[in-house]
Amino acid sequence: MYDKSIRKCSFVVDPHFSGFIYVNLKDNDGMIRTYTSRNNGKYFMPIKIIGKGWGRVTNKCAVQLDLICSNDMKKNFPKKGVVKFKGTIHCKYFDIRHIFVSFTGGRTWKILNSQVDKIVTFNNIGAMFGTERTTGRIWVSYDEGNYWYKKYIRAYEFIDLETFDYPDNLIIAAISYNKFKNIYSLFLFNFSNILDRTCQDDDFESRYVGRYYGNCFQGQLISYLMKKPSAICVDKRTEVKVTMNTCPCAIEDFQW
């Protein structure tokens, strides 16, 4: 159901891969959970979270993503295979707001620290830059969120982030607002001196568009190259190309 006041929809569709659907459904326990389909709505499953301790939490609680209605889905689906949403973990006695990020096309998810209020990806998606709401602390990860560098800077509240992510110019622009003095400040973070090596062929790995039963769907096996999380280098590709090969159809590929 469309909520006009907050522009939320009950479902959204991944613009990069055919048959990928995200939908919010109310379960028998009264909680709203986000389910995903990888076969054009034939089956739906709740999202899975990776990370220490989160498997136990998400089995007992409900993960609800903020499915925003928009003609421009780049904020939620910035590149092929990458998905990011704000959302809520609903438990019996508490709710927690988080940012959820997937580098596997929504197959598995990572929950960012609840202190992180805004996040952008750069270096062709392999790196992330985040800010806390009022502390002035920034978070940076070069390996898809496996390890984070944190630093306090003299800023009051970050209200917007923007990337100037060109092959030789890895810059993040952040706008801070001091409501007591009514002053806006612009911060520029340049990562060109840190990521100073161009990625080579062995810095990439093939990732497949996973389905429920292997990687084949309706006779197509789809893969794309992503930078390895461990590779600290600049990904200068202007486009992430998709490779499609044929594969045998399974009974699940047919509509009933």
Q: Give the lowest-confidence range in 43-52, 89-98, 210-219.
A: 43-52
66-118 residue pLDDT tens? 998 887 788 899 888 889 999 998 887 888 899 999 888 888 888 888 889 99
pLDDT at residue 98, rounded to an integer: 92
Q: Region 38-64: what's the mean pLDDT?
A: 70
pLDDT at residue 154, rounded to an integer: 82
pLDDT at residue 203, rounded to an integer: 93
Q: What is the pTM of this model?
A: 0.83
Please state, in angstroms and rounded to a whole number, the distance separating the CA atoms of residues 234 and 232: 7
> What percentage of the chain has pLDDT greater than the value 90?
27
Query: Across the strands, what pairs with 110?
Result: 50, 101
Phi, psi of 248 (to 5 degrees): -65, 135
**Other Cβ atoms within 10 Å of 37 Cβ, number:** 19
pLDDT tier for residue 57 given thresholds of 50, 70 and 90? low
pLDDT at residue 85, rounded to an integer: 93
Q: E-strand spans in 105-249? A: 109-111, 116-122, 127-132, 137-141, 149-152, 158-166, 169-178, 183-190, 204-208, 216-217, 220-227, 242-246
pLDDT tier for residue 202 given thresholds of 50, 70 and 90? very high
Q: Region 141-149: what's the mean pLDDT?
A: 91
| Enclosing H/E stretch for 32 | strand 32-37
Q: Which residue has the higher pLDDT, 138 or 249?
A: 138
Q: Region 178-189: what's the mean pLDDT?
A: 91
Q: Is the pLDDT of residue 2 over 50?
A: no
pLDDT at residue 256, rounded to an integer: 57
> What percentage of the chain has pLDDT greater than the value 70?
87
pLDDT tier for residue 1 given thresholds of 50, 70 and 90? very low
Q: Is the pLDDT of residue 208 over 80?
A: yes
Mean pLDDT across the chain:
83
Q: Region 246-252: what's the mean pLDDT?
A: 76
